[in-house]
Amino acid sequence: MLKIVTILILLSVSNAIINRNNLRRYRENLIPSKDIVRITHSQASLISKSWLENILIESTSQNENKDKIPSKLFELQDAHIVSGINQLENYINYHRSEKDIYLSWMPLSTKPKNIKNKTSLFLIVAELDNINKKIIIKQLVQSPLWNPSQIPSYKLKNALIDFTNQFESTEIDLNYLYEHDLRYKLSWSIWNLEME
């Protein structure tokens, strides 16, 4: 089963060539936790490295001199993704125990209609705290293919909450994520205000 999931993830990542002009649309599953797939640390690393490769390919293809990586690589719009991938790889090197959880958010694609495969839009790093009965979300790394107009990130939050509810007496803890990545704290707080 693990080999099948790995192959499917690899195919979806390799087929998802960066093309920001032809954005897919995604929809949340009726049971949001079904959009969350548990993966191994190796699969998370493989996906993130593929994303980094796609960013580098796009950067060099936009550069007139294709033999050289642009000097302004880290001034790209994807700089936060590159930084997130580096942090993820560093985290993976030291966190491979049973309490470390690696997830992929893969909602169903609805546009174009003839494509119904799932693509990893976010990698999620979490830690299981059995003592306090919490799943602590440590990091989110977005795909360079994701755009909020395709599916808003609060749908990811819904999926994480639903995923956590599957575990008896376990709750989600977003405090670590909010302290280290203000983008999600602000984005998800604004979503809460809009919903009230």
Domain ranges for the chain, please list them: 2-195
- Residue 22 is predicted with a pLDDT of 55
| 77-111 core/surface letters (b: 16 or more CB in 10 A; e: else) | ebeebbebbebbeebbeeeeeeebbbbbbbbbbee
Nearest to 43 by CA among 17, 10, 83: 10
| CATH top-level class of 2-195 | alpha beta
Nearest to 43 by CA among 80, 2, 91, 84: 2
The Cα–Cα gap between 176 and 192 comes to 19
- Residue 116 is predicted with a pLDDT of 57
The SS3 assignment for 31 reads coil
Nearest to 43 by CA among 96, 1, 13, 6: 6
At 62-89, the pLDDT tens digits run: 665 555 555 555 456 678 888 888 899 9
Residue pair 162/169 in contact (Cβ under 8 Å)? The answer is no
- Residue 152 is predicted with a pLDDT of 92
Average the pLDDT over 175-179 and give the result: 94
Mean pLDDT of the chain: 80
Average the pLDDT over 94-108 and give the result: 91
